[in-house]
Amino acid sequence: MTDSPIVKTRSKRLRKKLYVDEFTVLGFGFHGKFSAETDAELDPFFDGLVELIEGRNLMICGGNDGEHFEAYVSSSERYESATDEDRKAVQEWLDSQASITDVVVTELSDAYYGE
């Protein structure tokens, strides 16, 4: 008897349902710190962020505690991924915003399994 690893073979239908292999969906995260003093100062930031995300056919989820924020961005289309161009566009836009500091944008990662 050999000690070879068990190879899992999954049907295309199951791979698609599980978002694995050729159906892996990629996204990216970002986080930073608010430098604005009031909510009114942050309104243009959030309006611009929503416009950027929707304009690139992406979706975003995240939150903040009033001082720090974090979010994850992925494609709004099923079985589609955010691209490195999307990630760079968001990075450039965030870097241009005076109302936030200490921005970090992560590399593309598996949106469903975080790898």
The confidence score (pLDDT) of residue 5 equals 61
Q: What mean pLDDT comes out for the span 20-28?
A: 94
How far is residue 90's CA from residue 23's CA, in Å, rounded to a whole number? Answer: 24
| Domain formed by 24-110, architecture | 2-Layer Sandwich (3.30)
The distance from CA 2 to its chain's CA centroid, rounded to whole angstroms, is 43
The confidence score (pLDDT) of residue 1 equals 46
**How much is the pTM?**
0.86
For residue 11, the one-letter residue type is S
Contact indicator for 51, 58 with CB cutoff of 8 Å: no
Write down the domain spans for the chain. 24-110
SS3 state at 74: strand
Give tens-digit pLDDT for 76-106.
999 999 999 999 999 999 999 988 999 999 9
What's the Rg (C-alpha) of the chain? 18
Tokens of 34: 């608010």
